[in-house]
Structure 1
Amino acid sequence: MILGASILQFPAIRKAKEMGLDVIVVDMNPDAVGFKEEGITRLQISTIDTPKIVEAAREYRIDGIMTLASDMPMQTVAAVCEDLNLPGITPRTALNATNKAEMRICLKKNGVPVPEFYIVCEWGEFYDASKNFVEKFIVKPADNSGNRGIKLVTDFSIENLKEAYAYSKQYSRDGKILLEEYMEGDEFSVESISVHGVCNIIQITDKITSGKPYFVEMGHTQPSRYDTAKLRDIASVAKMGVEVLGINHGPSHTEIKYTAGGPKVVEIGARLGGDFITTHLVPLSTGVDMVTANIKCAIGEDPDIEKKHAKCSAVRFLQPQPGRLKSVSGITEAEAVNGVFEVGLLKHIGEIVPEMRNSLDRVAYVVVQGNTSDEVMAACEEAIKKIHFEIM
């Protein structure tokens, strides 16, 4: 059973079919792209409707359940695993890995490096907590993803603080908001698979964001270009965090900033990384098929996580000015650039391109592969130059 039928889940749906498995796909959207795949069972249920999904899992007597690169269904995945005694994480681990407040508490309690943080629910608490910061802080909802509700606060006026509080609060399902120290430093993600309680680091990714105030991820490059000693520190902190949260079976995606005080955990997900990191970049750079590995973990089989080659890969996201997307040209020319693996659109013609505040606002992407970091970055730049957007 795969929770979600969006473009994020599509590689898992296809891969599970290729592996000869009977695939049940769950999504509340009847028009979801994954539902268009032939030869699957479609269930129109919300991926966070735990009781209904548990009931369906029992009815179909499933052998495994997963979601790919999405935090929201993880607590449902864990509930099904517990109910049917399937391989997977526990409900406690799922909560720790999806609720940023619970995650911060767990990591700090167990000595994993994290930023200074405060958890609040009401405006008065938010205002009082803001006094603990001098120049700036990050505000984020406790239980959302994809950069939704995240903002850097540098103006401590009452008006601006209220705006930041309201912006983050609207994305919080449980009403909790985090105020966190803004960590200066380069950002990375660590892609890993745990097998029999051992966290195996598959790849470390350099991350590019849009910067303040919303920090939307705009690119990823593998392998990291950081020096070996610092990469060892990053891997060590990631492993520690994964183990502390209780992710002892299956994938994890750890985001880390390397600060003046060393690496600190931004977030840890008990699932594969999104943004084409584990569906595209890891296979292109290492030869490790992390989607197949995830599926094998979900059905109780040992995955093949041995690296097959050492290449470089990258993804870059494109963002034109806000407006209505009238046309896009140059896709074919971009695809013809040496090293380009895939070019795609994330918005349809006629859709509104909003001011970019989270990952759902991005418009297009380019994925490349090469032998060196310089090669892949040059290919990205060349391909991007060929793509032109007409905005009304």
Structure 2
Amino acid sequence: MSRPRIAFVESNTSGTGRLFLAAARELGFQPIMLTSAPERYPFLSAEDCDVVTLDTGDTAALVEVSRELSRKGLAGVTSSSEYFVVAAARVAWQLGLPGPDPVALASCRDKHLQRQRLRAAGVAIPDFRAAETPEDAVRAAEAFGFPVIVKPVSGSGSVGVAACSSPEGVHAHAAALLGQAVNERGQPVPRMVLVETIAQGPEYSVETFDRTVVGVTAKHLGSPPYFIEVGHDHPAPLHTVERDALARITRAALDALGLGFGPAHTEIRYTESGPAIIEVNPRLAGGFIPELVRLATGVDLVRNTVARIARQPAPCEPLHRRHASLRFLLPPAEGSLARIDGLEAAGRLRGVAEARMYGAVGSQLACRHDFRDRIGHVIATGATPEDAMATADRAREQVRLTVTPARGA
């Protein structure tokens, strides 16, 4: 007898997508990938995963295919990609399967509407204005005072997010964003950007499941004016008062946005006046944060996400209390990756759980100043935050990347 199925609408390309398929199998389900471009996911060839090729931008087509699958036993529909969580939720709703509210998810994915709802609910956020032209963006920035953040109203992984310190910089960056018709996944994007004041202070993310705060992650950011995340520490080394304040504002944000089914990843700056929400992401964290949570606490958020939509238990109580840190490997320059040295040595360091490159020698590297710049990572664990962080830093320093510059560079 064939196993019941879990359908995944597209996948995360840089982090946990592969883990979702493994979790489905471990729970006794056959994973099925619904995708318009199977070649986007090299890991599919090594996984026991059925593939259905279709236009995943067409909700009606997704519903039709999923309805046919349901006749043969479909337990749930979800996505590990932020760009497709709304589509997956709509399909689940149409088929009467468990899932988050698709209307709430769609509202949350629209960062302008998200901010309007948070502000209306009295949740602390940076000041903001929407702009539909570069000139509107400049006027908003001048009203706030420089520097400001200019960012897309939809997106993920810090794509298109930049701090701008002059009218000329705001105009140029806004014009570039407004000139884009589609995002990196080929989806149409609104002709609108957000201009925001900068919340000063350390950045954290709160990982929640349903309404349970599973933990707080400390973020390491790259060099300004961009906001690429270059490392994470879980759990963040915080005092109880700080953790409680982050948990309270996160729950208030979830309530304001109508969220509370399955995972959410809420990014927060801890300012002098207290925590302020940067954005709420209605999906599991990327950047291998779920792996850090699993290593530090034993709570498997990937497995829980699949279990939740399949009506199975999703326990969030920690099984142990350790610490885990991740450091990403970034290209030293644009060009062709010529050599990778020290990766095996990094992996042999005491306390290192993983040292991995995403690409091979010969890969072409570009600096886009977002998550796509990350070409590998090291993960370390320890009994204390200091142990995990120090080991992760040592492992990252062990890896040396040699890049042959592109011609003309």
The residue that corresponds to 2:162 in the other structure is 151
Residues 1-392 of structure 1: pairs in structure 2 closer than 5 A: 1-5=7-11, 6-8=13-15, 9-31=17-39, 32-61=41-70, 62-68=74-80, 70-157=81-168, 160-169=169-178, 170=180, 173-194=189-210, 199-278=211-290, 280-322=291-333, 323-392=335-404
Deviations for 1:318-376, whole angstroms, at most 9, x for unmatched residues? 22322221121111111100111111113332222222411111222101111111111
Q: Is the 8 A contact 2:147 2:197 kept in 1?
A: yes
**Aligned counterparts of 2:56 and 2:204: Cα–Cα separation in 1:** 29
Percent of residue pairs bearing the same amino acid type? 28
User: For the structure 1 residues 48 and 368, does the alpha-carbon distance in structure 2 shift closer, same or farther, using more than 3 Å as the test?
Assistant: farther
The residue identity in structure 2 corresponding to 1:188 is Y
**Aligned counterparts of 1:229 and 1:267: Cα–Cα separation in 2:** 22
After alignment, is 377-386 or 12-21 more displaced? 377-386
**Aligned counterparts of 2:31 and 2:368: Cα–Cα separation in 1:** 35
Gap regions ≥5 residues in structure 1: none
**Aligned counterparts of 1:166 and 1:26: Cα–Cα separation in 2:** 34
Q: Is the 8 A contact 2:177 2:193 kept in 1?
A: yes
**CA apart distance, 1:298:** 0.9
Deviations for 1:123-168, whole angstroms, at most 9, x for unmatched residues? 23223222212121100000111111111011223xx232111233
**Aligned counterparts of 2:216 and 2:348: Cα–Cα separation in 1:** 28
Match of 1:384, SS state, is helix
Q: Is the 8 A contact 1:355 1:361 kept in 2?
A: yes
The size of the alignment, in residue pairs, is: 384
TM-score by length of 2: 0.90
**Aligned counterparts of 2:99 and 2:37: Cα–Cα separation in 1:** 26
Q: Is the 8 A contact 1:96 1:106 kept in 2?
A: no
The residue identity in structure 1 corresponding to 2:137 is F
Greater than 4 Å deviation, 4+ residue runs = none
**Aligned counterparts of 2:14 and 2:131: Cα–Cα separation in 1:** 34
The residue identity in structure 1 corresponding to 2:10 is G
Match of 2:76, SS state, is coil
**Aligned counterparts of 1:309 and 1:78: Cα–Cα separation in 2:** 33
The residue that corresponds to 2:4 in the other structure is none
**Aligned counterparts of 1:117 and 1:377: Cα–Cα separation in 2:** 34
Q: Is the 8 A contact 1:7 1:33 kept in 2?
A: no
**Aligned counterparts of 1:35 and 1:186: Cα–Cα separation in 2:** 38
**Aligned counterparts of 1:370 and 1:192: Cα–Cα separation in 2:** 23
**Aligned counterparts of 1:306 and 1:89: Cα–Cα separation in 2:** 22
**Aligned counterparts of 1:182 and 1:56: Cα–Cα separation in 2:** 44
**Aligned counterparts of 1:332 and 1:371: Cα–Cα separation in 2:** 23
**CA apart distance, 1:46:** 4.7
Match of 1:131, SS state, is helix
User: For the structure 1 residues 44 and 313, does the alpha-carbon distance in structure 2 shift closer, same or farther, using more than 3 Å as the test?
Assistant: same
**Aligned counterparts of 2:205 and 2:310: Cα–Cα separation in 1:** 26
The residue identity in structure 1 corresponding to 2:28 is G
